[in-house]
Amino acid sequence: MSSAVVTPLSVPEGSKVNFGATISGVDIEKLTDADFDVIRAALFAHQVIIFKNQAHVSPRAQFELTNRFDPTATSYGHGATLDAKRSVLHPDLKTIPHQPQVQVIGNGFVPEYEGLQNITLRHPHHKTFHATAVPEQDDLNFTRFYRWHIDAALYGLAPPVVTTLQAVRVPRGRRQTVRYDDGTGDELSVPLGTTAFVSGYTMYDLLPAKDQEFARTTRVEYAPHPYIWMSGARSRSDGLGMVSEGKEIPLDQLPAIEDDKIQVLPMCWRNPVDGRLAVQVHPSAVRRLHLADGTVVEDLETVREMVHRVQRPGIAPDCVYAHDWEEGDFVLFHNRGVLHSVVGAFAEDEVRLFRQCNVAASEFPLGPEVATAAAAA
């Protein structure tokens, strides 16, 4: 018997956030099989699971819980692609030497942590990635979603099933207002340095029937070496994909491309437990769309507009869960059912230290066509 207690998040009146739960009564450092059964069921039902007071949890225990969702998978979700100097991921992550699937992320100078010495972490600021930025004089109070994404290499390695985040040091701060800056007037008040989550299932459910059909039948082709490819380009102001200015790194200037590593994935991924469909697209890495009738949409601007139209309703302010981090929080999320984004900006002397872990999966996500075949069988 597990003493784990699952409590769905309570959300304000009118919120469309229908995911997220807290689990109490477990110690991640000493998980039992019965605890894991509860956690697994909760993960696929609630997508984002919050454990409080887990400051003592070791990198090893973090890896073991993460890995338990896919025991035959062992390499970090991005594999060795982090080492490519041009990748947009490179500056944001430091690898723990004795547990290489666990990365340290955050902000500020840390003299020593888990075998890493004298590291300087940098919380990414939207001005380094977006085509436009919040004006300097507003930067303390206003911010953006940095980049909505799935944690996935999207080239070669299969997208991790789950990601875990451990809050080791959290500067207590002010709140900021996220601006979408896309002409809608949308904005959202969030805690400083929040991680924002949206549900891919809600993203799907909000669409009109014809867009759901489009999402169910379209496949998304990702660029080879996507994080290097996108490094010349800049993001939309809502963090949901790139603007099209022809600034992507040309394919012949990328590292050698192995065609069999290029990924064409369903636009909707099926929940392995309840069969629900989530719109799961990493919008910044999309290069082509393969439509139901066999047409391949090649024009990048058109591709991005089509994807943005499907995804934008799902990141509306009332769909976003913005986690208010406290030291010792351990968050486990279903990387195949939610999108997430870093938010906000810290001063240099605000030290924030987090650990992140995911593992490249042993299998690719299920798409809707598999559900149809299974139902017919």
Least distance to Fe ion from the beta carbon of 48, Å?
13
* Position 165, amino acid: L
For Fe ion, give the closer residue by CB, 164 or 202.
164
Stretch binding Fe ion (CB under 5 A), from 22-30, 149-157, 296-304, 322-330 = 149-157
Secondary structure letter of residue 216 according to DSSP: H
* Position 32, amino acid: T
Task: Note the helical H segments in 157-299.
Answer: 200-205, 209-217, 226-229
For Fe ion, give the closer residue by CB, 70 or 151.
151
Count of residues interacting with Fe ion (CB under 5 A): 1
For Fe ion, give the closer residue by CB, 178 or 300.
178
Stretch binding Fe ion (CB under 5 A), from 43-51, 150-158, 240-248, 267-275 = 150-158
Least distance to Fe ion from the beta carbon of 134, Å?
21
Least distance to Fe ion from the beta carbon of 159, Å?
11
Q: Does 151 bind Fe ion (CB under 5 A)?
A: yes
Q: Are 49 and 329 in contact (CB under 8 A)?
A: no
Question: Which tokens hold the place of 297?
Answer: 């949409």
For Fe ion, give the closer residue by CB, 195 or 271.
195
Window 268 to 327, contacts with Fe ion (CB under 5 A): none
Least distance to Fe ion from the beta carbon of 163, Å?
6
Secondary structure letter of residue 73 according to DSSP: -
Secondary structure letter of residue 20 according to DSSP: -
Least distance to Fe ion from the beta carbon of 282, Å?
10
From the DSSP assignment, how many helices (H) and strands (E) are in the chain? Answer: 7, 21
Stretch binding Fe ion (CB under 5 A), from 145-153, 183-191, 246-254, 363-371 = 145-153
Least distance to Fe ion from the beta carbon of 325, Å?
14
- Which residue in the block uniquely carries the two structure tokens 């080791």? 168
Q: Across-strand partners of 330?
A: 51, 166
| Residue among 249, 239, 79 at smallest CA distance from 158 | 79
Q: Are 352 and 107 in contact (CB under 8 A)?
A: yes
Q: Which residues sit at the interface with Fe ion, rule CB under 5 A?
A: 151
